[in-house]
Chains A and B, each alone.
Chain A
Amino acid sequence: MIPNEPKITPELVAEHGLKPDEYERFRKLIGREPSFTELGIVSAMWNEHCSYKSSKVHLRGLPTKAPWVIQGPGENAGVIDIGDGLACVFKMESHNHPSFIEPYQGAATGVGGILRDVFTMGARPIACLNALRFGDPKHPRTRSLVSGVVAGIGGYGNSFGVPTVGGSVGFHPRYDGNILVNAMAVGLAEKDKIFYAKATGVGRPVVYLGSKTGRDGIHGATMASAEFGENSDEKRPTVQVGDPFAEKLLLEASLEIMAKGCVIAIQDMGAAGLTCSAVEMGAKGDLGVTLDLDSVPTREAAMTAYEMMLSESQERMLMVLKPEKEKEAEEIFKKWGLDFAIVGKTTDTSRFIVRYHGDVMADLPIKELGDQAPEYNRPYAEPKKLPVLDPQSVPCSVSIVEALQKLIGSPDLCSKRWVWEQYDHIILNNTIQRPGGDAAVVRVEDGPKALAMTTDVTPRYCEADPFEGGKQAVAEAWRNLTAVGARPLAITDNLNFGNPERPEIMGQFVYCVRGIAEACKVLDFPVVSGNVSLYNETNGRGILPTPTIGGVGVLDDLSKSATLVFKSEGEEILLVGDTKGWLGQSSFLATVLGREEGAPPPVDLALEKKNGDFVRSLIGQGLTTAVHDLSDGGLLVALAEMAMASGIGAVLKASPAGISPHAYWFGEDQARYLITMKSADLPKAVAAASKAGVLLRHLGTTGGRQLTLPGCDPILVSSLHKLHESWLPSYMAGELAV
């Protein structure tokens, strides 16, 4: 055996996050005691983060195919055909645990990792988005976490040179000890020039490219697969340090050697670094891989094989190059000042062999490392259904105006300008719709085609009813893309949950995934990539179930896109869809009345489709002047957002009889949109709605500088705007008693 290696003991196995039966499974697989390096390798391959061992069986139920899907889940990122010979490559991934431990670097490397996933496939990143969830604003750490995470996302994306065009930020006490940082990247490639991880050819050199390997991030993926206790600060050394400058060079160099036809296979070194990338390339190509660690560029002296195999140093790639192009590729990398080293070769033995200083440190069956990872069908509890809340049973002494003011100035619904102004959202000169709208719109090359993108989830709903909540997250992404006029194409999902070993958490997961699957099927909106993040809990308390959906859609002609801004005075305001006044789990109930109760609004997917297709067709015909989807806060919050974005007010009709005014204005019934149009176009829209069987309700007209509701004092749009814009900057400046 190898000299000076720690002896494998049950304690050491446990420290590596392996259960005794998992270790036994591995021991049987290799037919002997593993070496220390091998134990490290298997702990990296078989942890939850890399193996999806608790989630795999359920993820198989997600629809992943459509005629426009080029590559579904299983590669670095999903790929869809957007026409004209172009493909959109995208994925979302979490960096929750590292961001909680070290917010700046955790968030920064989250962005770096997802960008690498996208350009590894040969795509140039054209946009980033994110979805962030923080704890209670009153919690002593919240402010510094917000500050660090936002600075980290900006610090990486701004320097790398990709616009961060959209996202969401929310607060809830259930994230106090475990924030969520989900980062999404979107790239563009030629459809027939997509690169994959699968290695081909025996005896081909395996090449290491990018930054040097250090001791940072060792066991990062294992840390990400455990829940937090009181001492999570001690895990700081497992967080990686980002270098966006190196990543920018790696991007340019990688795309250059791909364009020159040098690359056979490519895999970025993300979670579990060299281990996962080498195993993946070999296993996918039915080949063995032998690594010679003496050739790995290191930035620290005397690193052990164990450390090198588990390091999560950032900005590194592994490739198999065409032998005749090796010289050319090396010159390109040298030009960009990056390391280029041949660190191994492909073999026909199906073994993963690691050599160092003349010793064989690991010799493992390469396919089985992935294929034979444990897979669990963990016990799960069916979530209990909550009773439907009767809107008449919600007494409310707060006036409509006060409730609106409270909502639009609340942490969840206030303007997030303070956040997105720290992100360069205009670089590349293609950002047609900036942050703050329903979905971001980014021009494709010189147009007229554009991509729309959004991230969505309503964790309150998912907690109350995982199945409906899962459906709603997908439906809302679909609706947001529709509201800008785009044809929704596909999603990436980032499933953030607590400890799957607890049946009630596993139940949340299973039912959310079923809800997502159901919505994706009906809306023809397949899942092409994703990430599962479990064990998001601290001291036994899980986060709200948060399956973030990143949606992408296409606009064939960006001149036919819609924004939510009122365009001029004297236009007609119309509501598409039915309003019953659903208050259960609404923002109004939670924020204004402090009650998180009842069943969330049900999602009628057929109705979503009908109403959405109708709105999209109106936009395409140029009949709308503004469009906004209805979500948190319901009708009046959406109206206020349209008014605040323009400075133009509105005169509104009274709420209909038979529905309480609060439920009418703030209910969160699904499948609804607000649209405005010129009076002259109204008959056309009414005729189209009646033909399509869509409910269209006339709400009032735009005009003036205030929102006027019958029976209420008029509200100045400028005063609403001030409330909307002030909460976050005041909170971050510490000027707010919360």
Chain B
Amino acid sequence: MKAAVLVFPGINRERDMARSLQLVSGKEAAMVWHTDRELPKGTDLVVIPGGFSYGDYLRCGAIAARSPVMEAVRKHADKGGLVLAVCNGFQIACEAGLLPGVLMRNARMKFMCKEVHMRVERSDTPFTRRYNAGSVIRVPVAHGEGNYVADAETLARLEGENLVAFRYASADGVVDPHFNGSMNAIAGILSEKLNVLGLMPHPENHVDPIVGPTDGRRLFESLIETLEAA
């Protein structure tokens, strides 16, 4: 795995991400500055991490999505390269058009940092092959704007093409439509070619057994397995 973690001004979970990538893969990720126009040679995974790019003072992710480095990310994705976009990264990916829809203020208007459960909707993707479809995993969220919204047509397409990767749920797998207001309880979605995953929860914060649960670990193991198989 040769991962590149993007760094925009105001991003703040890039260290957590790099550390978890290192912990699971044993390899150091490259940190890529937002003004770079090219990704490091041989990059096979781009990670857009969480944080508050440009303070989220405009629409979340809107400014970062227009950074020079995003052109290179778009090319990488067009060629089928893997992109993992977490939290603010998910918002940036939506703003950049890598994924459809948008993330709005949480229904209860407050920032929420807590552990939640989400149901893995499919296990035949590069990001989820080490999970079982229908299984429930525990992951933390830390966001104020994670309320996924899309127009009816887009939502129907996402559901029809089976592109919802994760949904907020109870511990026993019952979908929770009221968690943050997200349509269809969407916590994460995939691109049509299944090579871009955007999700609000932070799998990178649930990797290290010393700190807590490790349900996020298999997402990174899935990526390693995918890239090794390629």
Q: Which residues of A contact B (CB under 8 A)?
A: 151, 154-155, 158-161, 243-246, 248-249, 336-337, 420-432, 443, 447, 558-559
Contacts and interface: CB of A to CB of B under 8 A. Distances in A.
B16 interface: yes
Given A432-B210, A443-B210, A443-B211, A245 B52 contact: yes
Contacts of B140: 426
Contacts of B113: 158, 420-426
A422 B10 contact: no
Contacts of B57: 245
B51 A421 contact: no
Q: Among A245, A420, A423, A430, find the residue whose CB has the most chain B CB atoms closer than 10 A.
A: A245
A152 to B, nearest CB: 11
B77 interface: no
B52 A158 contact: yes
Interface string B1-38: 00000000110110110011000000000000000000
Contacts of A432: 210-211
B211 A429 contact: yes
Nearest to B35: A335
A336 B7 CA distance: 11
Complex A-B, nearest 9 residue pairs according to Cβ-Cβ distance, in ascending order: A161-B12, A245-B55, A159-B52, A424-B142, A424-B113, A429-B16, A245-B10, A422-B111, A421-B114
A447 B12 contact: no
B44 interface: no
Given A158-B142, A159-B56, A429 B205 contact: yes
B205 A426 contact: yes
Contacts of B221: none
Contacts of B54: 245
B157 interface: no
B151 to A, nearest CB: 30
- B interface bracket (residues with beta carbon within 8 Å of A): 20 to 34
A409 to B, nearest CB: 21
A432 B52 CA distance: 24
B191 to A, nearest CB: 27
Q: Among B52, B55, B57, B113, find the residue whose CB has the most chain A CB atoms closer than 10 A.
A: B113
A336 B11 CA distance: 12
Nearest to A249: B9
B223 to A, nearest CB: 18
Contacts of A443: 210-211
B175 interface: no
A431 B56 CA distance: 25
Nearest to B54: A245
A429 B204 contact: yes
B51 to A, nearest CB: 6
Given A245-B57, A429-B19, 13 more contacts: A158-B142, A158-B144, A159-B52, A161-B13, A161-B52, A243-B55, A245-B9, A245-B52, A245-B56, A337-B9, A421-B113, A426-B140, A427-B142
A425 B10 CA distance: 18
Contacts of A245: 9-10, 52, 54-57
Contacts of A447: 210
B12 A249 contact: no
Given A245-B52, A245-B55, A558 B142 contact: no
Contact of A427 (B10, B12, B210): B12
Nearest to B10: A245
Given A424-B142, A427-B16, A429-B20, A244 B55 contact: yes
B205 A422 contact: no
Nearest to A162: B12
A429 B208 contact: yes
Contact of B13 (A420, A427, A558): A427
B208 A244 contact: no
B155 interface: no
Nearest to B20: A429
Contacts of A159: 10, 12, 52, 55-56
B112 interface: yes
A420 B51 CA distance: 18
Given A151-B110, A154-B111, A336-B9, A430 B55 contact: no
B205 A248 contact: no
Contacts of B144: 158
Given A429-B211, A432-B211, A422 B112 contact: yes
B203 to A, nearest CB: 12
A641 to B, nearest CB: 19
B87 to A, nearest CB: 10
Contacts of B52: 158-159, 161, 244-245, 248
A421 B112 contact: yes
Interface in B49-82: 51-52, 54-57
